[in-house]
Amino acid sequence: MPHVICEPCIGVKDRSCQEVCPVECIYDAGEQLYIHPDECIDCGACVPACPVNAIYPEEDVPEPWRVYVERNRVWAHTLANVHVLEDPA
Protein backbone atom coordinates (compact mmCIF):
# COMPACT_ATOMS: atom_id res chain seq x y z
CA MET A 1 0.00 0.00 0.00
CA PRO A 2 1.83 3.11 -1.17
CA HIS A 3 0.05 5.92 0.74
CA VAL A 4 -2.52 6.13 3.52
CA ILE A 5 -4.89 8.94 4.48
CA CYS A 6 -5.08 9.33 8.26
CA GLU A 7 -7.19 10.95 10.98
CA PRO A 8 -6.68 14.64 10.08
CA CYS A 9 -8.82 14.06 6.97
CA ILE A 10 -11.91 13.09 8.98
CA GLY A 11 -14.55 15.74 8.61
CA VAL A 12 -12.34 17.88 6.35
CA LYS A 13 -12.16 16.05 3.01
CA ASP A 14 -10.61 19.06 1.26
CA ARG A 15 -10.19 17.09 -2.01
CA SER A 16 -7.02 18.93 -3.07
CA CYS A 17 -5.38 15.51 -3.12
CA GLN A 18 -7.98 14.20 -5.56
CA GLU A 19 -7.37 17.12 -7.89
CA VAL A 20 -3.64 16.37 -8.24
CA CYS A 21 -3.81 12.57 -8.36
CA PRO A 22 -2.80 11.50 -11.89
CA VAL A 23 -4.54 8.12 -11.65
CA GLU A 24 -7.67 9.14 -9.70
CA CYS A 25 -7.15 6.57 -6.94
CA ILE A 26 -8.51 8.73 -4.07
CA TYR A 27 -12.13 8.14 -3.13
CA ASP A 28 -14.72 9.60 -0.80
CA ALA A 29 -15.90 6.84 1.50
CA GLY A 30 -18.04 8.64 4.03
CA GLU A 31 -16.23 10.39 6.83
CA GLN A 32 -12.89 10.61 5.03
CA LEU A 33 -11.06 10.07 1.76
CA TYR A 34 -9.21 6.83 1.01
CA ILE A 35 -6.44 5.89 -1.40
CA HIS A 36 -7.03 2.64 -3.25
CA PRO A 37 -3.77 0.69 -2.78
CA ASP A 38 -4.08 -1.29 -6.02
CA GLU A 39 -4.55 1.86 -8.09
CA CYS A 40 -2.01 4.16 -6.44
CA ILE A 41 1.24 4.52 -8.41
CA ASP A 42 3.11 5.89 -5.38
CA CYS A 43 3.89 9.21 -7.07
CA GLY A 44 3.39 11.21 -3.86
CA ALA A 45 1.59 14.10 -5.58
CA CYS A 46 -1.18 13.95 -2.98
CA VAL A 47 1.12 14.46 0.02
CA PRO A 48 1.98 18.16 -0.44
CA ALA A 49 -1.54 18.89 -1.73
CA CYS A 50 -3.18 17.87 1.55
CA PRO A 51 -3.83 20.99 3.66
CA VAL A 52 -4.11 19.02 6.91
CA ASN A 53 -1.06 16.75 6.48
CA ALA A 54 -3.14 13.58 6.57
CA ILE A 55 -1.34 11.57 3.86
CA TYR A 56 1.73 9.41 4.51
CA PRO A 57 3.61 6.60 2.83
CA GLU A 58 2.52 3.46 4.68
CA GLU A 59 5.89 3.00 6.33
CA ASP A 60 5.85 6.59 7.64
CA VAL A 61 2.36 6.65 9.21
CA PRO A 62 2.79 8.01 12.76
CA GLU A 63 2.22 5.43 15.48
CA PRO A 64 -1.03 6.99 16.82
CA TRP A 65 -2.54 6.65 13.32
CA ARG A 66 -1.26 3.17 12.39
CA VAL A 67 -4.85 1.92 12.65
CA TYR A 68 -5.55 3.77 9.38
CA VAL A 69 -3.27 1.41 7.48
CA GLU A 70 -5.60 -1.46 8.32
CA ARG A 71 -8.73 0.64 7.79
CA ASN A 72 -7.50 1.47 4.31
CA ARG A 73 -6.86 -2.22 3.55
CA VAL A 74 -10.32 -3.20 4.78
CA TRP A 75 -11.96 -0.40 2.80
CA ALA A 76 -10.11 -1.40 -0.39
CA HIS A 77 -11.14 -5.07 -0.04
CA THR A 78 -14.74 -4.17 0.76
CA LEU A 79 -15.12 -2.00 -2.31
CA ALA A 80 -12.95 -3.90 -4.76
CA ASN A 81 -14.25 -2.02 -7.79
CA VAL A 82 -15.01 1.49 -6.58
CA HIS A 83 -15.02 2.92 -10.09
CA VAL A 84 -18.10 0.87 -10.91
CA LEU A 85 -19.78 1.96 -7.68
CA GLU A 86 -19.07 5.65 -8.30
CA ASP A 87 -19.85 5.73 -12.03
CA PRO A 88 -22.30 3.02 -13.06
CA ALA A 89 -22.70 4.53 -16.56
Domain range summary for the chain, segments of one domain joined by +: 3-86
CATH architecture of 3-86: 2-Layer Sandwich (3.30)
- For residue 86, the model assigns a pLDDT of 47
| Listed residue (20, 22, 45, 36) closest to 72, CA to CA | 36
What are the distances in angstroms from CA 30 to CA 5, 13, 14, 71, 85? 13, 10, 13, 13, 14
Is residue 31 within 8 A of residue 10, CB to CB? The reply is yes
- For residue 29, the model assigns a pLDDT of 82
Question: Tens digits of per-residue pLDDT, 29-50?
Answer: 888 899 988 889 999 999 999 9
| pLDDT value at 84 more than 60 | no
Q: Please, which pLDDT band fits residue 79 given cuts at 50, 70 and 90?
A: low
What φ, ψ does residue 4 adopt, rounded to 5°? -135, 135
Is residue 46 within 8 A of residue 57, CB to CB? The reply is no
What is the rounded distance in angstroms from the CA atom of residue 46 to the CA atom of residue 29?
17
Mean pLDDT of the residues in the chain = 86
Mean pLDDT of 54-70: 95
